[in-house]
Amino acid sequence: EGRLVQSGGGSVQAGGSLRLSCTASEFTFEDHDMAWYRQAPESQCEPISIREHSGRESYADSVKGRFTISQDSDKKTGYLEMNNVKPEDTATYYCSTRVTGYLYSCSGQGSVLGVWGQGAQVTVSS
């Protein structure tokens, strides 16, 4: 069973930039999709960006034009580049191989339907 280990996150002022990383072990994104989700307090787990293993990418309207999903050429590490961040981007961000819609919670998903990273807090101040 593989793992996803996240890094990055932290605090940033509105209008700034931040990059989140997601490194896979025991598998690569060559044959797995990669999705980024986020969950703010009192909110659902929101899917915000997907990169299918075919290379097709998609973004939620809330981040389109500001966030970019990418991967290293070796397909072991994926990234979420966050630009022009807003206070409403404040949330815990998760990467996963599971591609789905909104979930009640990003955490505690287990690994049967996909691998999840441990989460990274992003706080945007105005």
pLDDT per residue rounded down to tens, the chain (126 residues): 799 999 999 999 999 999 999 999 999 999 899 999 999 999 999 999 999 989 999 999 999 999 999 999 999 999 999 999 999 999 999 999 999 999 999 988 877 889 999 999 999 999
pLDDT digits (tens, 9 = 90+) for 19-51: 999 999 999 999 899 999 999 999 999 999 999
Say which residue the tokens 């206070």 belong to.
87
Token output for 77: 């590490």
What is the pairing mode between strands 10-13 and 120-125? parallel
- pLDDT for 73 equals 92
User: How far apart are the C-alpha atoms of 4 and 7, rounded to whole Å?
Assistant: 10
- pLDDT for 1 equals 73
Contact 57, 69 (CB under 8 A): yes
Can you say whether residue 110 is alpha, beta or left, with left for phi > 0 and alpha for psi between -120 and 50 degrees?
left
- pLDDT for 112 equals 80
Q: Is 108 exposed, middle or buried (0-12, 13-18, 19+ CB in 10 A)?
A: exposed
